[in-house]
Homo-oligomer: A and B are copies of this chain.
Amino acid sequence: MKRVGLKDVAAEAGVSVTTVSHILNNVQGKRINAETRRLVLEVAEHLGYQPNDLARGLRLRRSNTVGFVSDEIATTPHAGQIIRGAQEAAAQNGLMLLMLNTGNDRDLEDKEIALLLRHQVDGVLYASMYHRVVEVPQRLASVPTVLLDARSDDPAVPSVVPDEEQGGRTATRELLAHGHRRIGFVNNIDDIPASRGRLAGYRGELAEAGIDFDPSLVVTEDSVAAGGYRGSRTLLGLDDPPTALFCFNDRMAMGAYRAASEAGLAIPADLSVIGFDNQELISENLFPALTTVALPHYEMGARAIFHLQQVIDRAEPLGAAVHEVLHCPLISRDSVARPRT
């Protein structure tokens, strides 16, 4: 299992290690006999020599690795797409991701980031598994850093987040386009950018359609199926119930399906439902399949690497950091139709 080194190639080819190094590292300005070059390359190929990126990184002061630090990667099925987006973009730049999960433990995070820095990462993606405002760890001040699905109070740190308000508009517009006028919104009770932004989008789109905002049509609950069920029951129990429900996320929409079923309402004939997040495990497996708005996880991962590479290449802190807001697309399935008249 021993790795083949320059020494082994030199011994086999009968030339000096320096010569082998000049040839295999493509050092410019060295006079090397063409026959020797051919021989060394042949021997290196034959022995299975692999260049050592650690050594190269030391010379160039680049490790070609990027730290991917996340709070709670494991609790969300979104993680895979964020990582995949970051990884594929990183690979295109010749970078590899070093993964760290901190479990929201600041002491652990501090120790792990110290370890990352010892590995000489060229930069760090600091990812939150849902869109929120984070405090960037002190230690990251010394290395290019981009926030992923998170923002900092410090505007100097670049960030990539989803456009929650546009997503809320998109969901509401889809229901309006099918002719709904009384649209309920089953929102998340947590005061986070997603709940604020999606509500703003819902209100903005109603206003544009000339529909007065009716606060009785908005309920807030825990962002799980049981919360969606409770919120939907409340709205469906109104004297003048909505004909369509916009649910904060797909889990809450799952609860809306149960509430509709208990009320004897068929989806979408009697009640239209639209979700958010596009958690395919739910949205594809519900019946009827759920129309929803997707969080652009793959794109967020990819764009964060793009911005990080920009900062690394510039090798200076940015004057004005980039804060990119990504579009949340509509995913049409089978849960939205025209209301009964």
List chain B residues, Cβ under 8 A from A88: 101
A177 lies within 8 A of chain B by Cβ = no
Q: Does A195 contact B (CB under 8 A)?
A: no
CB neighbours (8 Å) of A114 from chain B are: 50
**Contact residues of A between 79 and 114, Cβ < 8 Å to B:** 79-81, 83-84, 87-88, 91, 94, 96-101, 112, 114
Report the Cα distance A63→B64, complex, angstroms.
Answer: 14
Number of copies: 2
CB contacts (< 8 Å) of A74 on chain B: these are: 80-81, 83-84, 298
Query: Contact between B77 and A99 (Cβ–Cβ < 8 Å)?
Result: no
Among B48, B112, B224, point to the contact of A284 (Cβ < 8 A): B224
Q: Contact between B285 and A251 (Cβ–Cβ < 8 Å)? A: yes
Q: Beta-carbon contacts of A192-223 to B below 8 Å, as 1s and 0s? A: 00000000000000000000000000000000
Q: A84-B73, A96-B115 are in contact. Are A229 and B287 (CB under 8 A)?
A: yes
User: Does chain B have a CB within 8 A of A133?
Assistant: no
Query: What number of A residues sit within 8 Å (CB to CB) of B?
Result: 67
Note all chain B residues with C-beta closer than 8 A to A73: 80, 83-84
* Interface membership of A329, Cβ < 8 A: no
- In the bound complex, do residue A144 and residue B1 qualify as a contact, i.e. CB atoms below 8 Å apart? yes
Q: Which among B54, B87, B117 is the interface contact of A100 at CB below 8 angstroms?
A: B87
- Inside 8 A of A45's CB, which chain B residues have their CB? none
Could you tell me if B287 and A120 are in contact, using CB atoms closer than 8 angstroms?
no
> Which residues does chain B contribute within 8 Å of A320, judged by CB atoms?
none
The answer to the question of A131 belonging to the interface, with a C-beta cut-off of 8 Å to chain B, is no
A57 within 8 A of B: yes
Least CB distance, A252 to chain B, in whole angstroms:
9
A97 nearest in chain B by CB position: B99
Tell whether, in the assembled complex, residue B98 and residue A224 are in contact, meaning their CB atoms are under 8 Å apart.
no
Known: A1-B143, A64-B119, A225-B287. 10 other contacts (CB 8 A): A68-B99, A76-B77, A77-B77, A79-B80, A87-B100, A96-B100, A225-B284, A254-B286, A255-B287, A282-B282
